Amino acid sequence: MTGDEIDKPGELMSRAVREFGITIDHGAGPSDARSGAAVHRVRTPGGSAAYLKVTRAILGSAALEAAHRELRFYRQLAAEVPVQTPPFLDALDTALGVAVLLAAAGRQVKVRAWSDAAWSKLGRDLAGLHAVRVARQDWVRPDSLLDAMSAPVCDIVTRFWTGILPMLSDLLDCREALRDELAAQPAVLVHGDCHTGNIVHAGDGLVFCDWQCTGVGRATSDLAMLGARAAPAGAAVPRDAITAYLNHRGGDVSQLERKLILEQLVIFVFQWSRFAAYNSPAGIARVHDRTRQLAAKWFATS
């Protein structure tokens, strides 16, 4: 970093504003992604709505790697994947970090308000995305779930689930076998953070946003994430989405559902407790109930 590139709060955003000629919509505060990136509503020089996504280098190597992965996706893959993505307008990649400018592409719809047609469209879109061929070595991505299952079980997991999940000790005892079963799935191109908060509606179509976690992974990681993130709101991915997915990609419904039960179960057990504080007591209770149901289903069929 040069003397002219001092990492002060707001410096990267200010530079992006100058170079892109955009104006910040101060009526809407920034939203923060879990990666640490800040997303600002802006206006282009022509007055069109857009979003500026800023990832400061000071956030660390993992956040910066994710920002570079997303920038590479927009430059190399966005035009090739069979799903809609926000139009890429411009980017800065400097010692200060990464700033990406994207056109506004649609409207958010709360998960409980999704129509059956939208869920079916999502299933078809994911089937198309998962059929895209990419070189594994070119699109390596961290797999936080498999990493969490490999690491020693942290205290927060045991504290959160003890007394709530009767099968907890059984799940912890067999976690290596469960991890191996997940890891044995075929590798496909995945979105990586697939939930309804990252998918906006545009006319009759869906636009997939936030590609920082994209790369090679398991198909069930995208499908299970949808269900895991919908659970606190009391919503569930309808069977229409799974049916549409299989109609366009092929496969056995009972086998896919079994894999989804496992993936959602271990997401809740090994990862979800870290995010519980972001949810209401009612949302936490719904996750408790969903996890108990998934555990019962899993052990009943294993």
Say yes or no to pLDDT of 224 above 60. yes
Q: Of 1 and 184, which is predicted with more confidence? A: 184
At residue 9, the pLDDT reads 67
The CATH number of domain 11-103, selected from 3.30.499.10, 3.10.129.10, 1.10.760.10, 3.30.200.20: 3.30.200.20
CB atoms within 10 A of CB 174: 13
Token reading at 225:
């994430």
CB atoms within 10 A of CB 74: 18
Residue type, 244: A
Domain boundaries, the chain: 11-103, 111-301
Average pLDDT on 180-198 reads: 96
CB atoms within 10 A of CB 148: 19
With pLDDT > 70 as the criterion, what percentage of the chain qualifies? Answer: 94
The model carries a pTM of: 0.93
Average pLDDT on 142-151 reads: 95
For domain 111-301, the CATH architecture is: Alpha-Beta Complex (3.90)
Token reading at 55:
């990832």
Say yes or no to pLDDT of 31 above 80. no
